[in-house]
Chains A and B, each alone.
Chain A
Amino acid sequence: DAGVIQSPRHEVTEMGQEVTLRCKPISGHDYLFWYRQTMMRGLELLIYFNNNVPIDDSGMPEDRFSAKMPNASFSTLKIQPSEPRDSAVYFCASSLLTGYNEQFFGPGTRLTVL
């Protein structure tokens, strides 16, 4: 299994630009999570989906952030317009609805907004 795949691995953009982060979860997993990690705030849950439907987006910081999951194998996290304070590592994770719901994390996208 290839694991959770994220792209790009690194993104550098200028303030005001639109940024789109992509995620391919592990095949067969029912849940997909988006997290953000910074030195100041640690690892925070932004939003999660169940069977492609957004369930809880209470962690999404502002209206500038949006996430979609058009099908079971693809999700995007979009920031428009981006700001320097959005600089962070963004992780996607997926899990099955079994057991203790172990979440499998992707390698992350390091976003730098200048």
Chain B
Amino acid sequence: TQLLEQSPQFLSIQEGENLTVYCNSSSVFSSLQWYRQEPGEGPVLLVTVVTGGEVKKLKRLTFQFGDARKDSSLHITAAQPGDTGLYLCAGVRNTGTASKLTFGTGTRLQVTL
């Protein structure tokens, strides 16, 4: 059962455009992480959001955690070809020892010149 739904699944845009990716769940998470994965590589952590309503900015990327800690969004301003990749959200559940991640369905972004 996939607990985290991402939308859109695919997005093809031109350089300079803005975009928003959504990550929705019916479950509450301790925190939420966003990863980017490039072809032939493993996912790389971009950010962790912890507090409901939290907004974090990473250069042209803005991440928001929903007030109820069930959903999140990633907004990219003025997309560049280097932003191309698979974006994955991951809900974090702290088990007391390690953090178990439940990954979203993924959004594949292609930015063209």
Q: Please report A residues at the B interface, Cβ cutoff 8 Å.
A: 4, 31, 41-45, 48, 50, 55-56, 91, 93, 95, 97, 100-103, 105-108
Contact = CB atoms under 8 A, between A and B. Distances in A.
A97 B42 contact: no
Contacts of B72: none
A95 B98 contact: yes
Interface of B: 2, 31, 33, 40-45, 48, 50, 88, 92, 94-95, 97-106
Contacts of A31: 98
21 contacts: A4-B42, A42-B105, A43-B43, A43-B103, A45-B101, A55-B98, A56-B95, A56-B100, A91-B43, A97-B98, A100-B33, A100-B48, A100-B50, A101-B92, A101-B98, A102-B33, A102-B48, A103-B45, A103-B101, A105-B41, A105-B42
Contacts of B33: 100, 102
